[in-house]
């Protein structure tokens, strides 16, 4: 669980793993690059199916679970700003990897900057104590 994001990053529940993920997979397997589905639409779909608390954050958690366990094999689950879809096209998978790596690199740069800012705060606080 991530600090400061407890309600979003809670571990997957048994309900999510054993009931909601299979339901989500059924919907996702009907998608393709030209027929995508957004997290908002998936949340609404779950709500209409009687599962009111499936937020976009929980959808993303389940998507990560699906990806990590390779549950769409031999296809790959892709996520874009305009929705999720399943693909078997290597070029599309490469673009997804490139996009994800870019986000990781951006986050790493922010972490480095915050570490430097933290060190600056430590120096300022040390000077105040003297």
Per-residue pLDDT of the chain (130 residues; tens, 9 = 90+): 566 555 556 899 999 999 999 999 999 999 999 999 999 999 999 999 999 989 999 999 999 999 999 999 999 999 999 999 999 999 999 999 999 999 999 999 999 999 999 999 998 888 877 6
Q: Is 46 exposed, middle or buried (0-12, 13-18, 19+ CB in 10 A)?
A: buried
**Within a 13 Å sphere around the CA of 79, how many CA atoms are in the beta-carbon half?**
14
Query: What pLDDT does 121 receive?
Result: 94
- Please choose, from the candidates 97, 55, 65, the residue with its C-alpha nearest in 3D space to the C-alpha of residue 78: 97
pTM of the shown model: 0.83
Rg over CA atoms, the chain? 19
Tokens, residue 102: 């870019």
């Amino acid at each position: 669980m991530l600090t400061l994001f407890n309600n979003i990053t809670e571990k997957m529940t048994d309900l999510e793993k054993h009931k909601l993920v299979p339901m989500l997979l059924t919907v996702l397997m009907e998608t393709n690059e030209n027929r995508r589905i957004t997290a908002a639409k998936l949340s609404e779909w779950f709500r209409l199916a009687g599962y009111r608390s499936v937020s976009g954050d929980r959808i993303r958690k389940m998507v990560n679970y699906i990806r990590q366990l390779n549950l769409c094999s031999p296809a790959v689950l892709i996520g874009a700003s305009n929705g999720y879809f399943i693909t078997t096209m290597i070029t599309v998978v490469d673009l997804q990897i490139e996009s994800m790596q870019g986000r990781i690199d951006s986050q790493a740069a922010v972490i480095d900057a915050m570490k430097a800012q933290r060190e600056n705060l430590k120096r300022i606080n040390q000077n105040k104590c003297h």
